């Protein structure tokens, strides 16, 4: 027994450290495996689009539509917007005495000039393009931002056209220059966009961000980013433009659509939840382009507009050479608000910019080289058949 006891004790004495070593080794092994796995994950490609991303297939359902010409000359303009046959031309400052001209879209008659240019009182050095026109208490309004005067104005278009003067219902002072787009969301909130910029102090590219803020108090409610920024130093295109998106608000202000310039992708944003879902066209073009020198980068969408049922994105889909640019974009991609591609619409006259008059159901397009405005009727695009089929 005693011997046994001695043996047992020796056995225990010898086996315990071995077990302990094995236990530590096992833990170490687990730790090693964990570290390797983490480093593999860490070294892998970073997710650039931060929301949920789906793919869509380019539809074969194509229709060709013919344009009417509109008698408006947009020379010196860089963007425009149309609502209820009021045609708003955003004038490129300098040597012009106003920043917005309003025409009648049917006749081309100049109805007035608003937001005078200058350094004086009631004058502005620059204002934001019209991003959204909405009806409030039976009057047409738009949020206009004057970055140099740090003012955000609720422009009352109806009263301005009636009186021939620039009438603003509200003016909010002290809006700093980080913001470049403003959308009114109703219920005393607004959606603001902070574009990606280069920070020279540490050579950093910031993420483009959206913020939901209170209106008119201008307090932050929610902030979110859709893209991880990439500081690609070999790129021929400045990295702060990589995730440039065009944006269009649904008339009920509950959804917003974005169309990317450098990828065939649209994003649909839920403005209540402040989150986006992306829809990328199936094909060879993807996010890896942003790690190249961008010499072969194509420009995909040149604008986006929306009504209650559909999204209309102006498709270019080519490398932006001088020759390609002059020829313009001659196709619209139509989507529903679930991100399904509904139709391809071939335009008889190519355009460079577009705007949708939701009250009349007309898409206006401007051909920069010809300085001609064309209009296309949404009714003639047969895009609402899709919704009838979906209901059945």
User: Which residues contribute to the site for another protein (CB under 8 A)?
Assistant: 78-79, 93, 125-126, 128-129, 147-148, 177, 180, 195, 197-198, 200, 238, 240-241, 244, 246, 261, 299, 302-303, 320, 322, 325, 352-353
Residue 367 to residue 132: CA distance in whole angstroms: 22
Nearest-approach distance from CB 205 to another protein, in angstroms: 11
- How many C-beta atoms lie closer than 10 Å to residue 143's C-beta? 24
- Cα–Cα distances (Å) from 229 to 55, 97, 258, 278, 377, in that order, read 22, 38, 17, 16, 39
Q: Which is nearer to another protein, 71 or 118 (CB)?
A: 118
Radius of gyration of the chain (CA): 28
Nearest-approach distance from CB 379 to another protein, in angstroms: 27
Q: Which is nearer to another protein, 321 or 389 (CB)?
A: 321
Residue 19 to residue 14: CA distance in whole angstroms: 9
Nearest-approach distance from CB 262 to another protein, in angstroms: 9
Q: Which is nearer to another protein, 98 or 261 (CB)?
A: 261
Residue 205 to residue 17: CA distance in whole angstroms: 55
Report strand pairing: 341-351 vs 62-65: parallel
Nearest-approach distance from CB 80 to another protein, in angstroms: 12
For 92-122, b/e burial (b = at least 16 CB within 10 A) is eeeeeebbbbbbbbeeeeebbbbbebeeeee
Nearest-approach distance from CB 38 to another protein, in angstroms: 36
> Which residues, 6 or more positions from 49, have their beta carbon under 8 angstroms from its beta carbon?
226, 227, 265, 278, 287
Nearest-approach distance from CB 195 to another protein, in angstroms: 5
Asked if residue 98 lies in contact with residue 111, where contact means CB atoms within 8 angstroms, the answer is no
Nearest-approach distance from CB 236 to another protein, in angstroms: 10
Nearest-approach distance from CB 366 to another protein, in angstroms: 12
> Which residues, 6 or more positions from 110, have their beta carbon under 8 angstroms from its beta carbon?
101, 102, 103
Nearest-approach distance from CB 79 to another protein, in angstroms: 7
Residue 220 to residue 190: CA distance in whole angstroms: 10
Q: Which is nearer to another protein, 280 or 354 (CB)?
A: 354
Q: Which is nearer to another protein, 315 or 383 (CB)?
A: 315
> Which residues, 6 or more positions from 229, have their beta carbon under 8 angstroms from its beta carbon?
196, 204, 205, 206, 207, 208, 239, 242, 243
Q: Which is nearer to another protein, 31 or 238 (CB)?
A: 238
Q: Which is nearer to another protein, 130 or 157 (CB)?
A: 130
Q: Which is nearer to another protein, 351 or 378 (CB)?
A: 351
């Amino acid at each position: 027994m005693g011997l046994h006891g001695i043996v047992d004790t020796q056995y225990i004495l010898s086996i315990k450290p071995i077990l302990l070593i094995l236990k530590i080794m096992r833990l170490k092994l687990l730790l090693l495996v964990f570290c390797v796995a983490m480093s593999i994950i860490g070294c892998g490609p970073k997710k650039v689009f931060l929301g949920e991303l789906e793919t869509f297939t380019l539809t074969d359902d194509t229709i060709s539509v013919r344009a009417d010409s509109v008698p408006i000359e947009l020379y010196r303009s860089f963007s425009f917007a149309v609502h209820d046959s009021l045609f708003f031309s955003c004038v490129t400052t300098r040597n012009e005495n106003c920043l917005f001209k309003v025409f009648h879209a049917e006749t081309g008659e100049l109805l007035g000039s608003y937001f005078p240019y200058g350094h004086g009182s009631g004058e502005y050095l620059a204002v934001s393009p019209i991003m959204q026109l909405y009806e409030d208490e039976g009057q047409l309004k738009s949020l206009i931002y004057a970055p140099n005067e740090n003012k955000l104005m609720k422009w009352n278009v109806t009263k301005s056209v009636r009186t021939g003067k620039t009438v603003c219902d509200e003016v909010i002072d002290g809006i700093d220059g980080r913001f470049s787009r403003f959308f009114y969301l109703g219920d005393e909130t607004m959606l603001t966009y902070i574009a990606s910029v280069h920070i020279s102090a540490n050579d950093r590219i910031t993420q483009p961000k959206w913020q939901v803020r209170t209106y008119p108090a201008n307090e932050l409610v929610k902030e979110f980013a859709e893209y991880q920024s990439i500081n690609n130093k070999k790129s021929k295109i400045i990295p702060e433009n990589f995730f440039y998106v065009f944006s269009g608000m649904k008339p009920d202000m509950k959804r917003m659509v974005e169309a990317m310039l450098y990828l065939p992708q649209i994003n649909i944003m839920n403005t209540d939840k402040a989150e986006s879902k992306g829809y990328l066209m199936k094909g060879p073009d993807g996010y890896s382009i942003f790690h190249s020198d961008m010499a072969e980068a194509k420009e995909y969408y040149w604008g986006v507009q929306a009504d209650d049922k559909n999204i209309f994105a102006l498709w270019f889909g080519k490398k932006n050479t001088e020759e390609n640019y002059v020829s313009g974009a001659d196709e619209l991609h139509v989507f529903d608000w679930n991100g399904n591609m509904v139709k391809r619409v071939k335009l008889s006259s190519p355009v460079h910019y577009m705007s949708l008059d939701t009250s009349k159901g007309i898409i206006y397009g401007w051909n920069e080289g010809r300085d001609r405005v064309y209009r296309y009727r949404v009714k003639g695009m047969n895009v609402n058949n899709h919704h009838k089929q979906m209901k059945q």
